[in-house]
Amino acid sequence: MNKDTKSPVDSAAIRELAKLLDETKLTEIEIEQGGLRLRVARGGNAVMAAAPAPAPVAAAPAAPAAPAKPSGPPAGAVPSPMVGTVYVAPEPGKPPFVSVGSTVKEGDTLMIVEAMKTMNPILAPRGGKVSEICIENGQPVEFGQALLIIS
């Protein structure tokens, strides 16, 4: 490999995530940063395989297809930045941080995700109106899962 060619994969980051897997006894960690998604997983008999992309095939003109349903989170979704348990209120018995119809401004606390016994506030990335809450209090959430939608 040419020394001038820089790989988009940061091997030091992979080593750090693998070390974190061992320290925390987790089986999987996934992060996304700068458009690059990195997943480190541990498994007993896991086999990973890469399949080559199919070769392009010249096709006769076809009737226009219906527009594909966009994949991924809905527009305005606030994704969970980590795996954990979500809480909609600062503590049990207190009112939720936000509800459907609430107006929020950038930086407002929307909810909390608990990960490894640490409470992580989820802040509004932009101002707007909460049009949908996609989770329930105390629900486990995955990295990237939509928590709520700000329109």
> Is pLDDT larger for residue 95 or for residue 18?
95
Residue 105 counted as domain residue? yes
> Does residue 139 share a domain with residue 83?
yes
Q: Is residue 53 part of a domain?
A: no
In a domain, 71, yes or no: no
- Asked if residue 83 and residue 142 are part of one domain, the reply reads yes
Three-class secondary structure assignment of 117-147: CEEEEEECCCCEEEEEECCCCCCEECCCCEE
Does 83 share its domain with 146?
A: yes
Look at residue 31 and tell me if it is in a domain. yes
Q: Provide the whole-model pTM.
A: 0.53
Query: Which residue shows structure tokens 């992309």?
Result: 53
* Range among 5-9, 18-22, 30-34, 147-151 with highest mean pLDDT value: 147-151
pLDDT tens per residue, range 43-66: 654 444 333 445 555 555 555 555
Answer yes or no: do 81 and 34 share one domain.
no
User: Which residues span the domain enclosing 32?
Assistant: 11-41
What's the per-residue H, E or C state across 26-63? Answer: CCEEEEEECCEEEEEECCCCCCCCCCCCCCCCCCCCCC
Q: Same domain, yes or no, for 91 and 35?
A: no
